[in-house]
Structure 1
Amino acid sequence: MSLVEISDADGVRTITVNRPDAYNSLNRGLRLALIDAFTTAGEDAATGGPVRTVVLQAEGKAFCSGQDLKEQLADAREGTGSNKVVEEYNPMMAALLSIPVPVIAAVQGPAAGAGWGIAMACDFRVMSSAASFKGAFSGVGLASDCGLSRSLTDTVGQTRALELLLFDEKIPAEKAAALGIVTTVVEPGQLAESVAALAQRFAAGPTASYREIKALVKDAAAVNARADEEGDAQLRLFTTADHVEALSAFLEKRPPRFIGE
């Protein structure tokens, strides 16, 4: 079974994350598969070919729960994977941000950590009323990644972004709509239809115009630059006592005991 499924129909490229048993958490295989999928979508959309809009969706209950914490704990214990933000996450986000046509995230379930960052890097977010967002960074003793500190600030402002990331509370769909984080919220049974209608609207529209407008409105370079800074912060925090404690507490199903180091 492929970790990422890709299909084309009527000008719409659909990219489906397919790791539902792990809540679509991002292990190395999935990160590399998404780099390939986003890169190919960007190339196909830039050439004036059949890709006129892109839908990013996921199988199962979760949109994406972020970093695979079992992989993260193994990396922390073995001293491996410390550069994965720079070597894998940031290229994944750069590829997503480089897609020149409208990109729609169909958020059917929880999107946490990098999963939220991926959704925020898309141009439009259609959200099920059963879905939610969560930073899940400070709770495990890390900084944000995937350029989320920039894309979220651009959307809700500095003070509210800081509040959302530091308090690290779940953001239900209704609150996400009130904050302007999502394009629309629909009932779970209406999500596929709503996303398809929006995608077809873009696919039938003036694609060259959309490409130019998107390039003018979205500052992909700024998000990528912030993702680089986040990568440096992640590297500094990767081996801290608080991060290792947070991962151990998660797997042992107990509250973490942070010491501030």
Structure 2
Amino acid sequence: MSEHVRTQTEGGVLTLTLNRTDKKNALTDAMYEALSDAMEAAEDDTSVRVVAIRGAGDMFTAGNDIGDFLAAGANMADAHVFRFIRLLGTFGKPLVAGVQGKAVGIGMTMLLHCDYVVLTENAELKTPFVTLGLVPEAASSRLLPAAIGHQRAFSMLAMGQPMSAADAHGCGLANEVVPLEKLDQAVEAATMRIAALPPEAVAATKALMRDSDAVGAAMDRENRIFGQRLTSAEAREAFTAFMEKRAPKF
């Protein structure tokens, strides 16, 4: 278990907290492994009825650690990020997210797989894949246009346009928007309410609501192209420019 992922189980709720605040909760391969291990264990644990994903500090997550991308190179296909993404698409128990501050990249696309999302008023969702020379992941190329329409999805996925909490709530990407100081209370209320429901009926309902075959197919297409893009000249220039704190030259 990574030191940067905290786990807590109480009242049938497993809470997974990203805890790498000095790096804005940017996700490393070890963190993806810890998240995946915890989710797989929760799937088989009848005492766990709901999983909540949180971020410590003042933001949810800055997305994938760019240094990990640079270090992985051609070996990225074996990275735990793809294992985590696949789990998001197949996870049978309810997923709840509590988001404060920025949710970038996978921090935003994982919300498309969550069954209940609470945002703080200062939350901002952003998917800067193309600006990094990459393509969307986690079936977001399918799920986001279906949720908010092609044009708004294009502005986010291709142009990197951020979305405010109010707009996310308005277009159905979030259940609630609350003041920052009420986030813990709102997430706890949602998770406890879900945990009190008959778990088999909840799981069956979630399965009926989701086209897992289509989601899996979208993930396979994205992952293949994402892996190719990681070694592209555009991506290497974007990552290098990011680390050197300069504008990329495409």
Give the TM-score normalised by the residue count of structure 2: 0.93
Superposed, 1:166-245 pairs within 5 Å as 166-245=158-237
Give 3-state SS (helix, strand or coil) of 2:75's partner: coil
Match of 1:10 in 2: 11
Which residue type is aligned with residue 17 of structure 2? T
How many residues end up aligned between the 2 structures? 249
Give 3-state SS (helix, strand or coil) of 2:225's partner: helix
CA deviations on 1:12-45 (whole Å, 9 max, x unpaired) are: 111112222221212111111111011111121x
Match of 1:81 in 2: 75
Q: Given the alignment, which residue of 58, 63, 69 partners 1:61?
A: 58
Give 3-state SS (helix, strand or coil) of 2:44's partner: helix
Aligned CA distance change for structure 1 residues 34 and 43 (closer, same or farther; 3 Å): same
Does 29-38 or 12-21 show the bigger shift?
Answer: 12-21
1:62 Cα offset (Å): 2.1
Which residue type is aligned with residue 256 of structure 1? P
Structure 1 stretches lacking a partner, 5+ long = none
1:155 Cα offset (Å): 1.6
CA deviations on 1:56-76 (whole Å, 9 max, x unpaired) are: 11112221211111222233x
Does 242-251 or 94-103 show the bigger shift?
Answer: 94-103
1:80 Cα offset (Å): 4.0
In structure 1, C-alpha distance between the alignment counterparts of 2:193 and 2:236, rounded to whole Å: 47
Give 3-state SS (helix, strand or coil) of 1:26's partner: coil
1:170 Cα offset (Å): 1.5
In structure 2, C-alpha distance between the alignment counterparts of 1:34 and 1:132, rounded to whole Å: 23
Give 3-state SS (helix, strand or coil) of 1:40's partner: helix
Does the 8 Å contact 2:124/2:164 carry over to 1?
yes
CA deviations on 1:186-207 (whole Å, 9 max, x unpaired) are: 1100111011111111111222
In structure 1, C-alpha distance between the alignment counterparts of 2:138 and 2:24, rounded to whole Å: 18
1:8 Cα offset (Å): 1.5
Q: Given the alignment, which residue of 35, 39, 47 partners 1:50?
A: 47
Match of 2:138 in 1: 146
In structure 1, C-alpha distance between the alignment counterparts of 2:89 and 2:135, rounded to whole Å: 21
Q: Given the alignment, which residue of 30, 54, 72 partners 2:69?
A: 72
Does the 8 Å contact 2:86/2:138 carry over to 1?
no
RMSD of aligned residue pairs (Cα, Å): 1.7
In structure 2, C-alpha distance between the alignment counterparts of 1:240 and 1:141, rounded to whole Å: 8
1:185 Cα offset (Å): 0.7
Give 3-state SS (helix, strand or coil) of 1:56's partner: strand
Give the TM-score normalised by the residue count of structure 1: 0.89
Give 3-state SS (helix, strand or coil) of 2:118's partner: strand
1:153 Cα offset (Å): 2.4
Give 3-state SS (helix, strand or coil) of 2:17's partner: strand
Give 3-state SS (helix, strand or coil) of 1:51's partner: coil
Does the 8 Å contact 1:125/1:183 carry over to 2?
yes
In structure 2, C-alpha distance between the alignment counterparts of 1:134 and 1:198, rounded to whole Å: 24
Aligned CA distance change for structure 1 residues 82 and 52 (closer, same or farther; 3 Å): closer
Does the 8 Å contact 1:21/1:60 carry over to 2?
no
In structure 2, C-alpha distance between the alignment counterparts of 1:73 and 1:195, rounded to whole Å: 35
Q: Does 1:124 align with 2:125?
A: no
Structure 2 stretches lacking a partner, 5+ long = none
1:129 Cα offset (Å): 0.9
1:156 Cα offset (Å): 1.4
1:89 Cα offset (Å): 2.2
In structure 1, C-alpha distance between the alignment counterparts of 2:169 and 2:66, rounded to whole Å: 29
In structure 1, C-alpha distance between the alignment counterparts of 2:214 and 2:63, rounded to whole Å: 22
In structure 2, C-alpha distance between the alignment counterparts of 1:43 and 1:97, rounded to whole Å: 16
